[in-house]
Amino acid sequence: MDYSAYRSSTRGWSHTLAGNREQFDTNLRRRLEALRAPPKPPEDLHPLTFKWLASLPPKHRPQALPRQYPRIANRLAYLWKRRQLCERYLDELAVDQRGGRRGFPKEVAREIGALKLLYLSLNPPVQRDVWAEHPWRNG
């Protein structure tokens, strides 16, 4: 077998590794950056989100949230009628689970809090008496 092609292709890397670590790191960083996917364009508001915003009472309709965080507004519009999922998502927005985040601007945080209160007023918690529903209890 002829390994001359392999040796010539790896010679540059081994020489670079042995010779100049900073140069190697810089070249590697450039190559990796070229391979990265381009950043996603900002998300637009979905038509469902416009309908959801229009359905909210005017004093509870967020202004800054859809403008600054359209992805979050789209998700809220999608989850609004899904009780447990929407409640959980609103809670996740209020409390940082991953750490190291700066949080939302004050205006957006206020709007998220107001949406949570509106959601809870429109969907009060269901009080169930588990024992009253048991079959042996009614018979």
Contacts of 56 (CB under 8 A, 6+ apart): 62, 118
Task: Classify residue 128: in a domain, yes or no.
Answer: no
Give a yes or no: residue 134 inside a domain. no
41-94 pLDDT tens trace? 667 899 999 999 999 999 999 999 999 999 999 999 999 999 889 999 999 998
Amino acid letter, residue 121: S
52, 24: one domain: no
Query: pLDDT for 5-37, tens place per residue?
Result: 555 555 555 554 556 778 878 888 887 777 776
Quick one: pLDDT at residue 36? 73
Count of the separate structural domains present in the chain: 2
Asked if residue 132 belongs to a domain, the reply is: no
Structural domain that includes position 22: 4-35
Is residue 35 within 8 Å of 63, Cβ to Cβ?
no
Q: Do 23 and 68 share a structural domain? A: no
Q: Given the structure tokens 């957006």, which residue do they identify? A: 108
Question: What region, left, alpha or beta, does residue 38 occupy, with left being phi > 0 and alpha being psi -120 to 50 degrees?
Answer: beta
- Whether residues 59 and 97 share a domain: the answer is yes
